[in-house]
């Protein structure tokens, strides 16, 4: 990796979240400030503040393990890098054009986050500590380790270039918020955090802790219900209030008398995979307050420790086997004049020169936390990482017959929904032109048209001769649940299909596998939807069971002969007839594959 320092900053203005963003690039710093020991942390912060007040831009981070520099009672593991690091720049540069980074591959092969048995054991330990009165809440996290992959050796992409490409992919997966990429030359930190740590300007210090989570819904109606449930949840509100009270106490250490207030409580924020609850806590700081004193009062942010902070951090040190690093520390900018804005680096990836990667995931544990619910929250929070770490394109497979696209508008509407979900630029005129070219090239015959939309919104299409459909097909019931039933890569059609391929039938003569979710509800096949005849009526599973909204299924529902109903594995003996359904082949009668012969 080049030792050249590079920084990209893409922060919202916390005082005007819908206004212009601070979007700048930086390189060739005038100076680099770093602390390799606890004793040096305060001096680095003071030097960064002085440089900003002198008219410079200062960008950098403070590791979670710097906490004892501000209060020796705060325990952490030993740091694995500089405790504080800031680069001083004269002026920002223009943000690089998209094609300078976004077209490069960015793939990380991630290992498991934490096995379920260890997770349950840790939660049991935390519940014991809470019951014993040691603490009220602990933010428990684990680190997922991965390795940067080189999908095409011919490209000779450096780790620095791959890190930039991965940052672009992370931003598409988790847009908005307080994003920054810092390449120190020795390590890279790629943060797409939605959480503000603090914004301090003109004597007013604003914090916006994020605590309280709910998964996004599968459609607009369910999404609204989940937001409403989060707002009304006594458990999530209690979790949020604990951290609000902690921050009120922290802020009072540097605030003017009666200068602490809570202007907003329990606001919900929509992120791609989860709803988050935030509150605003602010203070008017005392005259002469310094940046080092602000960190001394607030660091680490209570939303990533728990309460009381000292006891929560003791539990964290006991249960988490390795340092957090910049994750859960602070990353941000001091602008010319001294105004400071820092994020809490959640949704943050660390990358070393040898391509090793790390990313932390966690949640706040209270007395009301249940292992299954917290486990599911961790899976939802990992969605941004899975989405960004392996390149994929949006996919539609259309039937082109004698120069006409079958159900073309329905396919385009579904593709547009997927583009909105994955934050992919949508230009329908461009997509229509790509389709029109294929129609002109294949005016006769029957074709399978494969339409792809990449991460930059560029469409590509290919046509393949479509063979005759079979008169009937054999299906077999999967022997294990389809754990990815509720994944976004199941709800939307993309080129990422490994989860389907893992469940494809290996039995000779079997056309496809019938899947079922962990709740025992039937969902779909790996290549199409399914219909069941029961009591003289055709039924198909509803989308909330976890399946793709197939265009062929949509057409059948609109025609009225197919209805939605939840069906379980135990309902299969009552099924009078079976059919495989997709837009490419329509409806194909199906029957069950014979059971394997006994040994």
Q: Left, alpha or beta for 509 (phi > 0: left; psi -120 to 50: alpha)?
A: left
In this structure, the dihedral spanned by the alpha carbons of residues 166, 170, 171 and 174, taken in order and rounded to 10 degrees, is 180
Question: Quick check: 298 and 247 in contact, CB under 8 A?
Answer: yes
CB proximity list for 312: less than 8 A, separation 6 or greater: 135, 137, 138, 139, 305, 306
- CA dist list (Å): 25 to 253, 274, 369: 35, 29, 42
Q: Structural domains in the chain?
A: 6-388 (3.60.120.10), 394-465 (3.30.470.10), 473-592 (3.20.10.10)
The pLDDT tens digits along the chain (599 residues) read 335 899 999 999 998 877 889 999 999 999 999 999 999 999 999 999 999 999 999 999 999 999 999 999 999 999 999 999 999 999 999 888 754 444 556 789 898 888 889 999 999 999 999 999 999 999 999 999 999 886 555 556 788 888 988 998 898 888 888 999 999 999 999 999 999 999 999 999 999 988 888 888 777 788 888 888 888 888 888 888 888 888 898 999 999 998 899 988 888 888 777 788 888 999 999 999 999 999 999 999 998 999 899 999 999 999 999 999 999 999 999 999 999 999 999 999 999 999 999 999 999 898 888 998 898 888 888 888 888 887 889 999 999 999 999 999 999 999 999 998 888 889 999 999 999 999 999 999 999 999 999 888 999 999 999 999 999 999 999 999 998 898 889 999 999 999 999 999 999 999 999 999 999 999 999 999 999 999 999 999 999 999 999 999 999 999 999 999 999 999 999 999 999 999 999 999 999 987 554 44
Residues making up the chain, counted from first to last: 599
3-state secondary structure 100-143: HCCCCCCEEEECCCCCHHHHHHHHHHHHHHHHCCCCCEEEEEEE
- The catalytic residues are 195, 211
How far is residue 183's CA from residue 48's CA, in Å, rounded to a whole number?
18
């Amino acid at each position: 990796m080049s030792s050249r320092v590079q920084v990209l900053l893409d922060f919202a203005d916390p005082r005007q979240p819908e206004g212009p963003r601070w979007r700048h690039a930086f390189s060739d710093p005038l100076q680099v400030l770093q602390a390799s020991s606890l004793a040096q942390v305060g001096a680095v912060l003071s030097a960064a503040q002085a440089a900003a007040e002198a008219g410079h831009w200062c960008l950098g981070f403070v590791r979670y393990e710097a906490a004892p520099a501000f209060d020796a009672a705060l325990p952490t593991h030993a740091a694995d890098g500089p405790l504080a690091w800031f680069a001083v720049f004269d002026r920002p540069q223009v943000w690089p054009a998209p094609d300078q980074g976004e077209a490069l591959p960015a793939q990380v092969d991630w290992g498991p986050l934490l096995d379920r048995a260890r997770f349950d054991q840790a939660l049991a330990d935390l519940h014991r500590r809470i019951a014993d009165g040691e603490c009220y809440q602990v933010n428990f996290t684990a680190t997922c380790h991965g390795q940067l992959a080189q999908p095409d050796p011919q490209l000779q992409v450096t780790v620095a270039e791959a890190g930039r490409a991965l940052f672009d992919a992370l931003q598409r997966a988790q847009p908005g918020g307080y994003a920054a990429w810092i390449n120190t030359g020795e390590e890279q930190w790629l943060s797409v955090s939605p959480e503000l740590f603090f914004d301090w300007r003109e004597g007013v210090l604003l914090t916006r802790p994020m605590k309280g989570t709910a998964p996004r819904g599968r459609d607009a109606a369910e999404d609204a219900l989940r937001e409403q449930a989060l707002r009304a949840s006594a458990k999530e509100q209690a979790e949020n209030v604990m951290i609000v009270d902690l921050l009120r106490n922290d802020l009072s250490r540097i605030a003017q008398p009666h200068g602490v207030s809570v202007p907003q409580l329990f606001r919900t924020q929509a992120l791609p995979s989860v709803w988050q609850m935030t509150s605003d806590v602010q203070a008017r700081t005392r005259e002469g307050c310094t940046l080092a004193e602000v960190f001394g009062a607030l660091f680490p942010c209570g939303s990533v420790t728990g309460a009381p902070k000292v006891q929560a951090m003791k539990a964290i040190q006991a249960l988490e086997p390795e340092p957090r690093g910049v994750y859960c520390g602070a990353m941000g900018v001091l602008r010319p004049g001294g105004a400071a804005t820092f994020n809490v680096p959640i949704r943050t990836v660390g990358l070393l020169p040898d391509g090793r990667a790390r990313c932390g995931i966690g949640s706040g544990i209270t007395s009301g936390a249940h292992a299954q619910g917290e486990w599911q929250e961790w899976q939802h929070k990992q969605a941004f990482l899975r989405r960004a770490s392996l390149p994929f394109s949006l996919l539609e497979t259309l039937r082109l017959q004698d120069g006409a696209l079958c159900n073309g508008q329905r396919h385009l509407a579904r593709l547009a929904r997927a583009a909105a979900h994955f934050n992919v630029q949508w230009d329908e005129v461009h997509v229509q032109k790509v389709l029109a070219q294929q129609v002109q090239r294949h005016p006769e015959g029957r074709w399978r048209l494969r339409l792809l939309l990449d991460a930059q919104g560029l469409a590509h299409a290919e046509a393949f001769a479509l063979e005759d459909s079979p008169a009937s097909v054999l299906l077999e019931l999967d022997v294990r649940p389809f754990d990815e039933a509720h994944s976004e890569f199941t709800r939307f059609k993309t080129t990422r299909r490994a989860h389907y391929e893992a469940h494809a039938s290996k039995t000779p003569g079997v056309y496809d596998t019938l899947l079922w979710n962990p709740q025992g509800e039937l969902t779909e096949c790996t290549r199409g939807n399914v219909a069941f005849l029961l009591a003289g009526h055709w039924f198909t599973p509803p989308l909330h069971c976890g399946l793709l909204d197939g265009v062929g299924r949509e057409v059948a529902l609109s025609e009225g002969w197919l209805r939605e109903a939840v069906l379980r594995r135990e309902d299969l003996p009552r099924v009078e007839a079976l059919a495989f359904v997709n837009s490419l082949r329509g409806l194909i009668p199906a029957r069950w594959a014979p059971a394997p012969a006994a040994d």
